[in-house]
Amino acid sequence: MSRLQNKNALITGGTSGIGLETARQFIAEGARVAVTGTNPVNIAEARRVLGEDVLIIEADAGNAANQAAVAEQVKAAFGHLDILFVNAGIARLQPIESWDEASFDRSLDINVKGPFFLIQALLPIFSKPASIVLNTSINAHIGMPTSSVYALSKAALLSLAKTLSGELIGRGIRVNAVSPGPIKTPLHDGHGATPAENKEIVASIAAQIPLGRFGDASEIAKAIVFLASDEAAFTVGAELIIDGGMATL
């Protein structure tokens, strides 16, 4: 297929999980792709899965000051950018009394501050038209215990999708969001202090999904391909909730 033929795309956190699968589908649809990541093991796997033509940028999504350098690397490689998928994120689930300021700030830096300044840095090289897709979360809508900081960060990102959709449409940039429910990715490997505790937390999350299972990264990536493509030319400021019915409870 060729829904993204001749388009240049950047995916943050594109070396694992939803980001890696989206990169794979973007390439299959004809796009030239750049991904960001920091984990050497994940970077090596992304290179194996995506091939030698993918541009891999080692960048910390939570470092606001470094986002301009990411934009410069994309400009040097592609000249212009047609698609941005803001995917890099952190999901730390713990009771409110367990949080300290440093951990709070780190979650907000990765999930909100870094993305904001990346979008700002990329503005000069976006094509007209272009598409931005923000990966938010169903947790922005539901009151899941222990998700306070994660949920508020994703709610902020969802709000940003709404406000920027109005602010940037005059530049020809469409902004939309996907809000996944729990998806089988490495994001859910570190909820507990021990493997047994993590398994218990993951089971409790699964019990809250009417469909009875975690989603698959490919199910989210397909929606992102649509929003990134010209098929979604009239879709602006939208949120696609993909959660197995979780928000209906």
Long-range contacts of 67-71 (CB under 8 A, 24+ apart): 67/114, 67/117, 67/118, 67/120, 67/121, 68/117, 68/121, 70/10, 70/36, 70/118, 70/121, 71/118, 71/121, 71/122, 71/124, 71/125
> Do residues 180 and 215 touch, judged by C-beta distance below 8 A?
yes
> Do residues 137 and 94 touch, judged by C-beta distance below 8 A?
no
Cα–Cα distance between 95 and 92 in angstroms, integer?
10
Instruction: Tell me the residue type at 124.
Output: P
Q: Which residues carry out catalysis? A: 150
> Do residues 168 and 122 touch, judged by C-beta distance below 8 A?
no
